[in-house]
Structure 1
Amino acid sequence: MNGLIFEALKRTLKAKGVTYRELAERMGVSEPTVKRIFHERNCKLDRLMEICAAAAVELENVLGSMNRGPGPVNHIAPEIERKLAGRPALLFVFVMLSEKFTPEGIMRSQGLSEASMFLYLRDLEELGLVALGRGLSARLLIETPIQWNFEGPLRPLFEMTNKNFVGWAITHIDKEATFVSFSRRMRPETAEMVRREAEDLADRAKLLAHHDQHTTPEDGLTGYKWTFAFGATPFEAIMPIGPHPRDAGATANDRAAKARRPMPA
């Protein structure tokens, strides 16, 4: 049996958070049996269907995603990034296309006319980022996922979109978004453990999204954004406390210097 099937199955199990032990319990077999099947990458069709049923996934969907793993990240050429930096709307159209939105989906989301959508697609084609097809169809010429350069010319736009998203999330708590913000003192080793766990959760979310995008019709998908920041808190930069107004010993220069204190690198 094609080993790619088992690679796709393993991706599906990881995305769903199902362990070999849990799969074995659902199938009524031992964990070593499940491990052996995946190690040998071979079993009868009825056993394969049993595995899919236990994992709550259709075999057809597994077969359809065999050659569509997340793959390596790709980068946008610096000169293209500079051009996109000067045209935020064009960048956002490309970002949505790279997130598997169809042109029609972008039109519905943004309230764009067909003429505007076509013009954006044509501009992206001129940059070598998409190839236009018939009507409003377009094929990405850059493989996804894309690793954006957060230290390049696009940084101000990414900062703006994340700040906008955080502001939106705060006003939509318990309705359409989750927002958590707190400060705690902890050991650096504990912080590193928290950081790794958060990154693992982000990786799992990407796998789940990848699975959904290849197994769910377009009209059954909704765009979600994950923004996570964690680090040693620069209190003096984000929560500055200047001299008390009645502190006679503080000079105007002291207050001005405090106000101008830059964010740490």
Structure 2
Amino acid sequence: MTPSKKLQQCLFLLKRKLKDQNITYQQLANRLGVSLLTVKRQLNSEEIAFSKLLAICDSVGIEFHEIWQQVEAQKPEHTMFTKEQDNAFCRFPNLYQYFVELFVNKKNPQQIQIEHKLTAVSSYLYLRKLEEIQLISLSVGGKVSFLVSAPLGFMKSTKFVFKEIQNALFEVSNRLFDDENHEDFVLVKPLMLPDELRAKMYKETMELVSRYAELSESYFTQSEHPSHHFVVCGYRKDDINLGFKITNITNFD
């Protein structure tokens, strides 16, 4: 959830608390020493100064931190790519990258065309394909409107996700054996755990990664910070000897 959306949610919860306590806008205006119009404008604006928000809470005896905790506890509903969209991205990975430039990186078609040295025809075909799979709509003048909203992601067990996982695992494997110092974080830890405890570990790992992913998507997609791929893999290994068998030998030369 972006800071702007969190602020809007704070205002929504604050207005609901005012209603629960039977505090009218006029009563709130009297306590703040401002006009009724000012109160209405503040509570229904897209932006409000943090100091004014605190002043409203204090004037009616509402603890701001309680409202903020409720906002933080809310998990945004993810919009999922459809099967048709997943198939298109799996077949045309470059189409997915184009959509990322539009949707995540907030670039317009002209910027993408220049940066990626696309022809006008190619740029048009990308946009029309995204419109065809109902991710965007194009106006007569070529203006792009998104038909989806963040947070946006893939459903489990989709073709594109499997392909991305496969590519990521290959990339990690290749990087381990080249001669460059990538300063990558790599951890391999054999574990022998009951199914319940292993499932708990997976769940906690997912929750931790999801929190950092939300920070990344909400605050840092437009930053100059380098991009990192975080690959987590857990699987059952039947051979407790890590794949190395004890065999007959003649020497160790």
Give the TM-score normalised by the residue count of structure 2: 0.52
Distance in 2 separating the partners of 1:235 and 1:179: 26
- Cα distance, 1:111 vs structure 2: 3.5
1:148 aligns with 2:150: no
Matched, 1:212 2:228: no
Unaligned runs of 5+ in 2: 12-49, 56-67
- The residue that corresponds to 2:144 in the other structure is 138
Which stretches in structure 1 are left out of the alignment for 5+ residues? 10-43, 50-61, 247-265
The amino acid across from 1:121 in the alignment is L
Q: Letter of the aligned partner of 1:141 in structure 2?
A: L
Alignment of 1:207-246 (within 5 A): 207-212=214-219, 218=222, 220-222=223-225, 224-234=227-237, 240=243, 244=247
Residue 180 (str. 1) matches residue 190 (str. 2): no
Cα separation, partners in 2 of 1:225 and 1:164, compared to 1, 3 Å:
farther
Structure 1 137/78 Cα, relative in aligned 2: closer, same or farther at 3 Å?
A: same
Distance in 2, matches of 1:129 and 1:114, equals 22
Local SS of the residue matching 1:184? coil
Contact 2:135 2:148 in 1 (8 A): yes
> Equivalents in 2 of 1:159, 1:118: separation in Å?
30
C-alpha contact (below 8 Å) 1:70/1:207 kept by paired residues: no
Deviates more, 1:79-88 or 1:99-108: 99-108
Q: Which has the larger radius of gyration?
A: 2
Q: Is the 8 A contact 2:168 2:231 kept in 1?
A: no
Question: Which of 141, 147, 169 lines up with 1:163 in the alignment?
Answer: 169
Match of 2:65 in 1: none
Q: Distance in 2 between matches of 1:112 and 1:144?
A: 28
Q: Note if 1:90 corresponds to 2:95.
A: yes
Q: Is the 8 A contact 1:85 1:154 kept in 2?
A: yes
Question: What SS does the corresponding residue of 1:208 show, helix, strand or coil?
Answer: helix
Secondary structure of 1:154's match? helix
**Equivalence for 1:197:** 204
Alpha-carbon offset, residue 5 of structure 1? 3.3
Q: Distance in 1 between matches of 2:174 and 2:8?
A: 41
AA at the equivalent of 1:94: F
Helix, strand or coil for the counterpart of 2:152?
Answer: coil
Distance 1:166 1:134, change over 3 A: farther
Identity across aligned pairs (percent)?
Answer: 18
Give the C-alpha shift of residue 192 in structure 1: 4.2
| Structure-2 separation of matches of 1:230 and 1:156 | 13
Q: Provide the rounded CA distance (Å) in 2 between the counterparts of 1:91 and 1:245.
A: 52
Matches within 5 A, 1:109-128: 111-113=116-118, 115=120, 116-128=122-134
1:42-61, aligned counterparts within 5 Å? 45=51, 48=54
Give 1:205 shift. 1.0
Contact 1:90–1:120 (CA<8 Å) still a contact in 2? yes
**Residue deviations 1:167-206 (CA, integer Å, cap 9, x gap):** 57655632xxx32121233433654454333223212213
8 Å CA contact retained: 1:103, 1:117: no
State the alpha-carbon separation in 1 of the partners of residues 190 and 114 from structure 2: 38
| 2:85 and 2:133 in contact (8 A); partners too | yes
Q: Residues of 2 paired with 1:100 and 1:72: CA distance?
A: 21
- 4+ aligned runs moved over 6 Å, structure 1: none
- The one-letter amino acid of 1:5's match is L
Out of 151-160 and 195-204, give the one that drifted further: 151-160
